Amino acid sequence: MEKEHSMAMNREFLGQNSLSKTIFEKVPCGLLVMDSRRQLQQVNGVLEKTFGITRKQALGKCLGEALGCNDFHQSGVACGKGSICGECALWKAADQALVHNRSCKVQVNFHRKNGGSMAQENPLMFHAVPFEHEGERFALLQVDKLSISEELPRNGHPERSSEILGRHPTFQEMVNLLEEAAQTDLPVLLQGESGTGKELAAQAIHEWSNRKDQPFIAVNCAALPHGLLESELFGHVKGAFTDAIRDKKGRFELADGGTLFLDEIGELAPEFQVKLLRVVQEGCFEPIGGTVSKKVNVRLVSATNKNLQQEMNRGNFRLDLFYRLCVVPITVPPLRERASDIPLLAQEFLHKFGRDHGLAKSLSPAVLEIFQKYGWPGNIRELQNVIQFAMMKCSGTTIGRHHLPSHLLQETIADRLYIHKKIKLTKQEVLTALAKNNGNKMQAAKDLGVARATFYRFIKNRMAGMPDPGRGATYIY
């Protein structure tokens, strides 16, 4: 009875003091107070919304029961007594706070099927802090939804401070390559379509490397004319040309000790490629109008959405420069090839844009179905734009079909018409169309009169492992 009375008094103290209650409710993260028996003594409104529970449902319940642990509800075994509870990161964090009197931070992936904003698996950060009140020990747990940039290091892997988000095996394979490349100073060539996140990948290489405390300098080679690009990269001395009123450092010099990211490297003019080749080979250059060479220690990461092999065959890109830049080739996969990541990315963008603009919205199942079927030619950048557009259109809390841009719905309709007409593709028709269009899938689909999404699915499901049509042909999306 004394124990129960003490707990009741603690709940009253934690819940009724006006100042503490106001602070408890105003913080923009989930908070819960847990006693030494792992039972919840207080929760705030953010935590209620996150887990779809009420205070009445949560208070006095064990941690797993209150937060909706699937293993607890399926097994019926008391929280902490189950066969896998010993491996529960959240239970270990509570143990650190309540038993060892130490603060602890852990990441937990929650999957709640009923209610709340946890309808899908979400990474959460739990920060457990011990405290005492009237002789009793408690743990205050702060709960935050995470973007991938806030996640804890994975089993000795570098800390992922870039927005690298995805669980698809192809994507994870790419991330592993980024991590391995980051531990060297070898030049990296990132290849992939526009909008796939090549600059984020370049930033990740820098941030996971021993150069992370040095500059990361990015240059878009397609955005500057040849004359200006030379000045931007190598700098100039005063009087080198009419507007050169003072000495100016170039991007190579600014990136000394760090990483220089050359985006759209395939757009470089052939005459400028010769000058870049010398810098890559020797690590030195002369500013425009200068006579003294400057030596720099720069890690080069390049990116392109072009097929540089084809550009070399056409005489548009130097073979020797390609092999200097492409020591570590890494392909960033298009979004349609990692469709299982679309819901995860969409939820991340919803959370990010909602946080920026003070909005809380969700996606209806119909919208997620459309997202999964759409071909996403603009990749992640297009998905971001669609989410922003839909959030602008939606005045309520749930984004539906009618809030989406019309072109997403039109492609879905075209796909349905294709299915309704029962037009059947054959492998030979697809191969012929691809060969005719030099591997351009978008144009091949148009020639065959089918939607892009249908065409992509046919290749994925019916032509997996088949060679490209004709040697040297490359699929262009």
Q: Where are the beta strands (DSSP E) in 215-306?
A: 216-220, 235-236, 248-249, 259-263, 284-285, 294-295, 299-304
Domains annotated on the chain, with CATH: 2-146 (3.30.450.20), 169-331 (3.40.50.300), 335-419 (1.10.8.60)
Q: From residue 342, give the alpha-carbon distance in Å to each of 239, 252, 316, 439.
A: 53, 37, 36, 25
> Mean pLDDT by 10-residue block, N- to C-terminus, for the chain (477 residues)?
44 55 76 84 81 80 74 64 67 79 71 42 72 83 56 37 74 92 95 92 92 91 81 81 78 91 92 89 85 89 92 91 94 91 90 81 89 89 93 89 86 47 66 80 76 74 52 32
State both tokens at 85.
């509870």
The reply to whether the predicted model has a pTM over 0.85 is: no
- 317: Cα separation from own chain's centroid: 31
Q: What is the DSSP letter of 422?
A: T
- 328: Cα separation from own chain's centroid: 22
Dist. CA 157–CA 180, nearest whole Å: 10
The pLDDT of residue 177: 94
Three-class SS state of 125? strand
Cβ atoms of residues 273 and 321 within 8 Å: yes
Dist. CA 141–CA 149, nearest whole Å: 21
- What contacts 24+ positions apart, CB below 8 Å, involve 165-170? 165/341, 165/344, 165/345, 165/348, 166/338, 166/341, 166/344, 166/345, 167/340, 167/341, 167/344, 168/333, 168/337, 168/338, 168/339, 168/340, 168/341, 170/333, 170/337, 170/338
The pLDDT of residue 97: 80
